[in-house]
Amino acid sequence: MQYFDLINKCLVELNYKKVNAFNELIKNDHLKIKNILNIVNAEICTFDDWNFLLRKATITLPSNTGEIKNTINGRIKTLSVDDSKYEFSEDYEQFLFDKTKDKTYSILNDMLLMPVFDTQKEINIVYYTNNFVKNSNLEEKMQMTVATDETIIPDPFAEPLLVYGACMKMKANLEYPKFNYWNAMYNKALATLRSKLLTSASQIPTIKIKGEF
CA distance 37 to 164: 10
- CA 70 – CA 91 distance, rounded (Å): 17
Type of residue at 11: L
**H or E element in which residue 79 lies:** strand 74-81
Cβ atoms of 125 and 57 within 8 Å: the answer is: yes
SS3 129: strand
Alpha-carbon distance of 45 to 39, in angstroms, equals 10
Q: What is the pTM of this model?
A: 0.84
What are the phi and psi torsion angles at 29 (to 5°)?
Answer: -65, -35
Nearest to 79 by CA among 130, 110, 117, 124: 124
Averaged over successive runs of 10 residues, the pLDDT of the chain (213 residues) comes to 97 96 96 97 91 95 93 95 93 74 87 93 97 97 98 94 96 89 93 74 43 41
CA distance 5 to 84: 46
Q: What is the pLDDT of residue 29?
A: 96
pLDDT digits (tens, 9 = 90+) for 14-34: 999 999 999 999 999 999 999
